[in-house]
Amino acid sequence: MERRGIVERAKDYVAKERDADFRSEVEKLLASEDWKELEDRFYRNLEFGTGGLRGVIGGGYNRMNTLVVKSATQGLASYLIKAFPEKAAAGKLSAAIAFDSRHYSVEFAEAAALIFAANGVSVWLFSSLRPTPELSFAIRRLGCDTGIVVTASHNPPQYNGYKAYWNDGSQVVPPHDTGIIDEVNSVKIIREITRQEALDRGLLKIIDKEVDEPYQAMVKSRLFRPGLIKEKAGEVKIVYTPLHGTGAMHVEKVLGDLGLKVITVPEQREGDGNFPTVAFPNPEEEAALDMAIRLGIKEKADVVMATDPDADRFGIAVPSNLPKAGSLDSSPTALQADFSKYVLVTGNQMGVLLADYIFLSLKELGKLPENAAMINSVVTTGMQKALAESCGVACFECLTGFKWIADLMRKWENGEAGAKKFVFGTEESYGYLVETEVRDKDGVSAAALTAEMTLYWRSKGKTLLDRLDELYRTCGFWQELGISKYFQGPEGPAIMQGIMDKYRSKPPATLGGIEVAKVRDLKNGMDGLPPSDVLQFFLKDGTVVSARPSGTEPKIKFYASCCAGVGSGGLDAARAEAARKLDAIRKDIRAVIGE
């Protein structure tokens, strides 16, 4: 964009932004003629995508700030009024809003609430920080038409964001997503009222325990063996970190009510948008669990747990196994926990363990439906499908993002899409859903079920790693690879699109030296999946390699999932074979993305 256009947009922003700090940032940039920074802040509008907003906090149309939040909420309110005209006319539209510990989350949440109120939409606003899954639960419990959670999930501290939800408690999907985007992009006038006026007119209601307590009760109700927990809770010690986010309130309360001993990392317990002890507050990152693991070693914890700042993602680390006979293929019951070293369990592995525990528990209790089904994303390990089918459970795939899991759940409930009975949903990025009362990944319920699962296998003389090895022997050894490359700045989207275009115009004949047997391009939809910028390469040996630009961050992501049979060489040989394949695939991908 030409400099004149940048200056005009910057001055327009300054005239409209009521927050003095954000306005001052842009005024100073104009005064110092910092054209590079001004271009980055104004070369485009921060895109309201299919999941909402996410960006760096700051003044400007390409930043997260109060003006951008207000404009987005005005668009959402306008779409809501058009979608439900009768409720709008009767003054019965409502929304729920939650927020996490990030900088400006409180201010953004209240700004959104007052825009809704000014448009005649009643708002239920949480009194303090709450997790994303509770927001989803609140929408369903309170009968709201929409909802917002102000969070940037696991991103670094300079980010914040805004996830938009529909009346079923899931993030918006077609046709509502594009309809909302159109309204957001066409906003001309933003309706506003004061907080006091909203309270006086009954359009703003502050909530806390009226949703907290039912949510916690729901999480506990989804457990399978309360008797086992009551009997043996004292045998398991848990170290937990909320990574300076929202999870402590519910994880501590739920697990504490069950009689489990939870030791929360004190330095990371309270909400803090600076995330001072971690570079990335993401349980996918090994470094994020470092402090919790060190405490786990000190306390000899049976499991170390972590949730991300909005407590939708959940990760664990467990003590390593020390075989008495010196072999990974020794009898599982012969293995002892080594509390001097902890092993991170990947999102794919955790999904396998939870799926296995849910299936066997439902079978044991005689509650596994004949039409039971689980849902996972197209980039999740193939091991989950192999496991599900071995247990008589169907496994359905969907696009990346939990809204697509929720979309299929909704269709099944409405008797569509060959209706199945949902029993579990998961994706590789540490997301799990073990209940139907929430329609997004839920780190709190995953923590509770993982605690029970740990107790269950302990009662059988096994650790979680023991059980995982048993499943590898049944389903084959599966290993996954993930590569992400960031492309910041105005040229970033074009670079990522160029990579995808190159793969589309000239697909590789091999990856990692293995023949590509099939290419699946989801750009226009395929195999019953909606359109999405995703390419998948199915290799001759069963390995699947996927490529997709992120929908929320300026990066392109690659995934690979491969299987090695467990033969006479045992798990050691299978691990080595899988590692060799993935190393070769990694080299091919890095050559394309310039690493």
What residue type is assigned to position 241 of the chain? T
Element (H, E) at 425: strand 421-427
Contact of 219 with 143, CB cutoff 8 Å:
no
Q: What secondary structure, in 3-state letters, does 28-40 show?
A: HHHHHCCHHHHHH
Give all strands of the β-sheet with 477-486 in edge-to-edge order. Answer: 477-486, 555-564, 544-549, 535-539, 514-521, 510-511
- Residue 383: closest CA among 423, 345, 421, 356: 356
Contact of 454 with 464, CB cutoff 8 Å:
yes
Burial of 152 (0-12, 13-18, 19+ CB in 10 A): buried
The one catalytic residue among 136, 153, 377, 546: 153
Separation CA 247–CA 297 (nearest Å): 22
Separation CA 491–CA 481 (nearest Å): 27
The DSSP line for 466-522 is HHHHHHHHHH-EEEEEEEEEE--STTHHHHHHHHHHHHHHS--SEETTEEEEEEEE-
- Other residues' Cβ atoms within 10 Å of the Cβ of residue 488: 12
Active site residue 532: no
SS3 537: strand
E strand intervals along 137-246? 146-150, 159-166, 204-207, 237-241
User: What are the residue numbers of the active site?
Assistant: 153
